[in-house]
Amino acid sequence: MSKLLLIDLDGTMIDTPHFQAWSNVAHRLAGKQLTQREYIDHIAGRPRMEGASRLLALITDDIGAEMTGSLSADELAQHKQKEFLQLSQGTELFEDAKRLLERIAQAAQPVMFYTASLNAPQLFEAAIERSSLRQESRLSITRQAPGQSREALIQQLVGSRDPQDVELIDDSPYATDLACGLGLHAWQIRRHALEPKAAHPQASILSSLDEYPLANPSQGRTMNNQSAVLVTGGAGYIGSRLVPKLLAAGYRVRVLDALYFGNGLEGVMNHPALEFIKGDIRDPLLVEQSLRGMHTVVHLAAVANDPSFNSAPELGQSINIDCLPHLMSSAKRLGCRRFIYASSASVYGVNTEPFVDERQPCVPITDYNRFKADGEKILFGLTDASFETVAVRAATVCGWSPRQRLDLTVNILTASALARGEITVFGGSQYRPNVHIGDLTRLYTMLVERESLDEVRGTAINVGYENHTVTEIADQVKQVVDRYFLVNVPITTTRSDDVRSYRLDSRRVQQTLGFEFIYSIRDAIVEICEQWQSGNFNDSDDVLSDTRYHNVRNMLHNDWSYQASGDTSC
């Protein structure tokens, strides 16, 4: 019997304006500016009258009992409901909820929706009608009865099923913990860092509904060798966006990561199809252990970018090239059928061609670039009919990740505008091709999913979408930040010795694989602004100097020694 999936509506599928309604009422009736933190801590997820009582207490704390006059919780609740109904006319589905509904339409998994809100079912159906989604059949929605507890509602929905055959998604940590306590596998959708986390040890956290692995007959895979993917460095900047995609597509994923740069996979660590191995790719026996039973390898682990590499060149060489012959040859010897290598578009160095495609020679100007190019040669020398290989020459990556980096062009310029209120451009005339992390991880997923890599086997492919100068990128950052936060961010230009400059031609990946880029630099800037506004940088006093966000600083503070699991050397 297929597992039953229970999904909350309010706050999980539809973006209902509860916070805005409470905020408007507090300001209009008492002159109080309700913060998002206060709303989450005291009001969110509670019945309307309890929320009103808590809001009244907050108002009293702010302006004093004598100033609240005859203001009552009942009055606040009534005004809130009127405000909410007015604001709700344009309630929309979350973007990831739209994509989940599209997957549900073809799912083999039965799905039921539930809510405690009187208006949520109508708002949900109206939002679906306003969207471009087509629903072939009416969705099953159960409303929590007056006086019924959330626990009783969950038990009612589970019915006679074994709780282990039921999964649940809810934005409320309370409901998630309740479901786990009842024996369900529960996922909390936690889109913002300000929201409290579910406390139950069996609870899973989703930062996006895209990460939920819905059973799908067109994508679902039995847990055999063909569905098994090893991602080295899978907890890093790119990996922490890629691994959830692979899990959602039905793959069994094994991650090998030493966590030197932190763990961006905390939201999926309890996923039943994820196996995590904490270890170093310089450990030969551990590498072989990680490769066994895998069909595909996505090799992301590396000391990334020139500044990080130059800060510890011997360390960079040991990770970026010295261990590659053993890793790649072992993958082939142990039966892996496909190896996807994260190379870099920087292998082209300085190039005077108007646009650089894969036919241009590699002219690396740093050891980081050179070792990336050397890694391609090692890999392609192993290619044959039983071992498909491809190297991804990605442009500079931009956008948000659970293991965020701010040492990348678009990301650092945006962070500077947000944290310092100014943008400093070094040089400015250098061209910097970029690719959004969402597109890059979509491409990696496509390379994993394709039945064959015949069109690109044993070759490198360029992956970049927009070619702009650093000054043009800074101008885009200024436009977005100015409009988003109603500010006027100045741009200062200084001299730079960085001569790297090239424009990337990525038509081959589009023409041979049918891949389409859908995200822009502007999307990445907006994404980081949204995360900033949502509080996802609030735990840092200064993001521009915080070790976590800058690889080179992280490297200087880390102990990179490791205990090998055997005597074999790379």
Decide: 106 and 216 in contact? Cβ < 8 Å: yes
Strand ranges in 38-162 using DSSP code E only, listed in sequence order:
111-115, 141-143
Number of other CB atoms surrounding residue 91 within 10 Å: 20
Helices and strands counted in the chain (H then E): 21, 18
In DSSP terms, 229 is beta-bridged to 253, 296
Do 145 and 282 lie in one domain? The reply is: no
Q: Does residue 570 belong to any structural domain of this protein?
A: no
* 3 state DSSP class of 445: helix
CATH number of the domain enclosing 71:
1.10.150.240
pTM, full prediction: 0.67
Distance CA 268, CA 228 (A): 17
- Give the CATH number, domain containing residue 180: 3.40.50.1000
Residues 82, 143, single domain; the answer is: no
Q: What is the pLDDT of residue 223?
A: 40
Say yes or no: 34 and 53 in one domain: yes
Instruction: Please check whether residues 46 and 143 belong to one and the same domain.
Output: no
210: exposed, middle or buried (Cβ count in 10 Å: 0-12, 13-18, 19+): buried
Same domain for 491 and 376: yes
Residue 250's alpha-carbon distances to 247, 275, 341, 456, in angstroms, are 5, 14, 22, 24
Q: Is residue 338 part of a domain?
A: yes
Strand partners, 387: 384
Answer with the one of 211, 235, 259 that is the final residue of a domain. Answer: 211
Which CA distances in Å does 366 have to 344, 363, 390, 392, 499? 12, 9, 22, 19, 12
Domain identity same for 102 and 142: yes
Residue 429 lies in a domain: yes
What is the C-alpha to C-alpha distance for residues 532 and 548, in angstroms, rounded to an integer?
A: 16
- What local confidence, expressed as pLDDT, does residue 50 receive? 86
Distance CA(417)–CA(45), nearest Å, equals: 34
Structure tokens at 18: 């509860």
Q: How many domains does the chain have?
A: 3
Domain of residue 56, residue span = 18-90
Confirm whether 362 is domain-assigned: yes
pLDDT at residue number 218: 40
Do 281 and 389 have their domain in common?
Answer: yes
Residues 488 and 534 in one domain: yes
Radius of gyration of the chain measured on its C-alpha atoms: 26
Residues 187, 253 within the same domain: no
- 10 plus 85 within the same structural domain: no
Q: What is the pLDDT of residue 221?
A: 42
220 falls within a domain: no
- Residues sharing a CB contact under 8 Å with residue 277, sequence separation 6 or more, in sequence order: 254, 255, 256, 257, 286, 289, 290
Q: Are residues 63 and 106 in the same domain?
A: no
User: Can you give the CATH number for the domain in which 408 is found?
Assistant: 3.40.50.720
First to last CA, the chain: 48
Residues 62 and 176 in one domain: no
Q: Which of the listed residues 40, 66, 90 is the one where a domain comes to its end?
A: 90
Strands 466-469 and 431-436: antiparallel
Three-state SS annotation for 537-570 = CCCCCCCCCCHHHCHHHHHHHCCCCCCCCCCCCC
Of 90, 113, 133, the domain-final residue = 90
Q: Does 544 fall in a domain?
A: yes
Q: Taking Cα atoms as reference points, which of 319, 322, 527 lies closest to residue 414?
A: 527
Q: Is 82 domain-assigned?
A: yes
Per-residue confidence in pLDDT tens, the chain, 570 aa: 578 999 999 889 998 788 888 999 988 888 888 887 788 778 876 778 888 999 988 888 876 655 556 788 899 989 988 888 888 777 888 888 988 888 787 776 789 999 988 788 888 888 888 876 766 556 889 999 888 888 999 999 999 999 999 999 999 888 999 999 999 999 999 877 556 788 888 888 888 888 887 754 444 344 445 689 999 999 999 999 999 999 888 899 999 999 988 899 998 898 889 999 999 999 999 999 999 999 999 999 998 877 777 777 888 899 999 999 999 999 999 999 999 999 999 999 877 788 999 999 998 888 989 999 999 999 999 999 999 999 999 999 999 999 999 999 999 999 999 999 999 999 888 888 999 999 999 999 999 999 999 999 999 999 999 999 999 999 999 999 998 888 999 999 998 777 667 889 999 999 999 998 988 999 899 889 988 887 887 666 788 888 888 877 777 667 766 666 654 444
- The DSSP result for 375-427, as a single string, is HHHHHHTT-BTTBEEEEEEE-EEES--TT---SSHHHHHHHHHHHHS-EEEES
Q: Please tell me the predicted confidence (pLDDT) of residue 217.
A: 41
- Residue at 562 is within a domain: no
